[in-house]
Amino acid sequence: MGNIVCSSAMLKCSFGTAPGTLTVLPINMVKTATLIANIMNYIPMTNIMYFAMCTSMSNPTVAAATAAAQGGL
């Protein structure tokens, strides 16, 4: 069995500059005293808020900005 994660949990991306939060909506939740996430709570900007600025070179926006800054991230 996996770990239990509740709504408002702080999430961290290794390429993000700040933590994000998990939002569990009433449509995809486990019914307990508090909102608990399940496997369907994975939608970006709905369940998982952004991690501030991305530093991954595989992100096309970051790659373009790095190229425009002549190699500076």
The per-residue pLDDT string of the chain (73 residues; one tens digit each, 9 = 90 and over) reads: 678 888 899 999 999 999 999 998 877 666 677 888 888 888 988 999 989 988 898 989 888 988 998 877 6
User: Please, which residues have CB within 8 angstroms of residue 53's CB and are 6 or more apart in sequence?
Assistant: 16, 17, 18
* Spatial contact of 20 and 50, defined as CB atoms under 8 Å apart: yes
Do 37 and 24 meet the contact criterion of CB atoms below 8 Å apart?
yes
Range of the domain at 2: 1-73
**In 3D, which of 44, 42, 46, 47 has the Cα closest to residue 22?**
47
- In total, how many domains does the chain have? 1
Q: pTM of the predicted model, to two decimals? A: 0.68
